[in-house]
Amino acid sequence: MTAINAGGPPPVTSVPAVPGAPGAPGGPSGPGWGGPGWGGPGWPPPPLDMGVPRFLGRDGEFFGLLLRGALLLMVTLGLYRFWLTNDIRRYLWGHVEVNGDGLEYTGTARELLIGFLMAIVLLLPIYLLFYVAALMPDLIPYIGAVSFIVLALLGQFAVFRARRYRLTRTVYRGVRFFQTGSAVRYSLLSNFWSLVIVLTVGLAYPFAAASLERYKMRHTHYGDLGGQFVGSGWGLFARGILLWILAVAPLAAAVVFTVISVDWLPVLQTLLSLDIAKISALDENDALALAVGFVLMAAGWGAFAGLIFYPMFRAIVLRWWVSGLRMGGVSAHSYFRNGQAYGIYFRFLGYAMLFGIAASVVGLLLAGLHSVSVRDLKLSSEAGEISGIVLGLIGYVAMMLGYSTIFHTIVTFRFWRLSFEMTQLWGLSALDGVVARGEASSALGEGLADALDVGGL
């Protein structure tokens, strides 16, 4: 995994911070957003039991942290990632305040490094086995599928264990969060749902998300308080189905149409004959040409619509997710607005464009400077080309890290902030007198997630 990992999912895995939501007694129909309903003479003073978490981080500081981290990632070819990840988490966790007390992240970079080394030791024999098997003629047909399945299972195993590590390093009022449950079962469940999502062209996503979140939250604890997830698959389905119809349904329909309308037997025979002349003659198959045209159009539209609606999708999922979280008697409700998600992404696009222009200007200047200095210093053509390649490589890496830094400063940071600040919590008195339980877990899961590239924040 990468500390800077553009385009990641919402910080779903860092659940602990935001417990609670409506639905339960005193859901959204009860007290509103700091609204009326409170203040009658008979009411107990509200601030004790309800409140909005605060996030006190400043994006300038966060940007500085990431920028310095990006430079160090470059000079250490990525080895600095353990320290950067740890700094980012300390910053994000440490600036959250719930009911007047701050969260604390107690993990260390050293733990991440050791977890990674342990994961390498664990993975090395597995990779070696795949490598050797890939060289055996009899095994070649199976090796792809087998390694895909093994790595998918291991990856989700790592995701669950990494969440456990992060939770046990999250401390609030001197009491830690922790996670029980079996990573093996989670991995099987998660991979089962991935398969169902693919088979249903995404329609099963809400049910998958609800099921996995229920498993995670059921096994999440803060001291002697138990977590719970009450969001329902149908609830998310109802909120998101319109987006699915707009973005995904045309593609699904086009695929179905293709399967039905084309007479596949002769087409397959032609393809299997491997005869170039016959295959190019497939052009004249009108039904096939029409179907392929439909699929291409639908895919193009799907990509366009996906881009347009992605912020709304994230907002919907974030609201649904936060509002389903419970921790003991604490419930939450998110008032995150679609417009806020669009604001964040537009801001990112704007800054990314500015950065792109600036980077191109700098790149052109450097390229010019390079060719001039190659000529003036009378470098051999070999030295010139090598230094050109190295410069280009550094430029490319700097560019990518720049985009990633901008992305995290704007998108990750603001989503994190708003996922707290747009959340109303009820039943906060349940957080008093919680008895400490649970122990710190090892960072093996984090290391595996890193090595398998499935990590999040």
Partner 1 sequence: MIRSGPAIYFDGKTSTRHPVTVELDNSALAVKSADGRLLARWPYGELEQTSANAGVFRIGRTGSDALERIEVRDPGLAHAIDLMSVPVDRTGLQQRRGRRKVVLWSMAAVVSLLALGIYGIPELATRAAPLVPYGVEKRLGQAVDLQVRAMLDPGKKGDAFVCGTAESEKAGQAALVRMVAKLETAAELPIPLQLKVVRHKQANAIALPGGYIYVFEGLIDRAEGPDEVAGVIAHEIGHVANRDGLRSLLQAGGLAFLFGMVLGDFVGGGAVIFASRAILRMAYSRHVEGQADTYAVGLIQQVGGDPRALSTILTRITGTKEPSVRVLTNHPATPERARSIENVTRPAIMRPIISAEEWAAFKRICGGTAATPAPKAEAGSPLEKAAGE
CB 227 within 8 A of CB 167: no
Ramachandran bin of 438, using left for φ above 0, alpha for ψ from -120 to 50, beta for the remaining angles: left
Nearer to partner 1, 107 or 202 (CB): 107
Dist CA 398 CA 341 (whole Å) = 27
Residue 330 Cβ vs partner 1, minimum distance, rounded to whole Å: 12
Question: Among 438, 430, 442, which residue's Cα sits nearest to residue 179?
Answer: 438
For the bound state, the minimum distance from the C-beta of residue 38 to partner 1, rounded and expressed in Å, comes to: 23
Looking at beta carbons only, is 128 or 349 nearer to partner 1?
128
Q: Provide the minimum distance between the beta carbon of 148 and partner 1 in the complex, in angstroms, as a whole number.
A: 17
Do 112 and 443 meet the contact criterion of CB atoms below 8 Å apart?
yes
> What angle (nearest 5°) sits at the alpha carbon of residue 168, between those of residues 446 and 416?
75
Q: Residue 128 or residue 256: which is nearer to partner 1 going by CB?
A: 128
User: Scanning the structure block, which residue is given the tokens 């090395």?
Assistant: 124
Least separation in angstroms between residue 49's CB and partner 1 is 15
Output 115 or 202, the one with its CB closest to partner 1.
115
Q: What is the CA radius of gyration of the chain?
A: 26
Q: Which residues bind partner 1 (CB under 8 A)?
A: 1-6, 56, 72-73, 75-81, 83, 90-91, 93-95, 97, 101-102, 104-106, 109, 120, 123-124, 127, 131, 135-137, 140, 171-176, 223, 274, 381-382, 385-386, 389, 393, 396-401, 403-404, 431-436, 439, 450-451, 453
Nearer to partner 1 among residue 83 and residue 309 (C-beta): 83
Q: Residue 124 or residue 297: which is nearer to partner 1 going by CB?
A: 124
| Least distance (Å) between residue 112 CB and partner 1 | 12
Closer residue to partner 1 (CB): 84 or 208: 84
Q: How far is the CB of 59 from partner 1 (least distance, A)?
A: 14
Give the separation between CA 251 and CA 315, rounded to whole angstroms. 23
Query: Which residue, 259 or 389, has its beta carbon nearer to partner 1?
Result: 389
Distance between CA 155 and CA 450 in Å, rounded? Answer: 10
Strand arrangement of the beta sheet that strand 50-51 belongs to:
50-51, 423-426, 330-334, 325-327, 225-229, 220-222, 175-179, 170-172, 101-105, 96-98, 54-55
Q: From the CB of 126, what's the least distance to partner 1, in Å?
A: 12
Query: Rounded to whole angstroms, how far apart are CA atoms 170 and 172?
Result: 7
The nearest distance, CB 23 to partner 1, in angstroms, is: 25
The contacts of residue 54 (CB under 8 Å, 6+ apart) are 96, 97, 420, 421
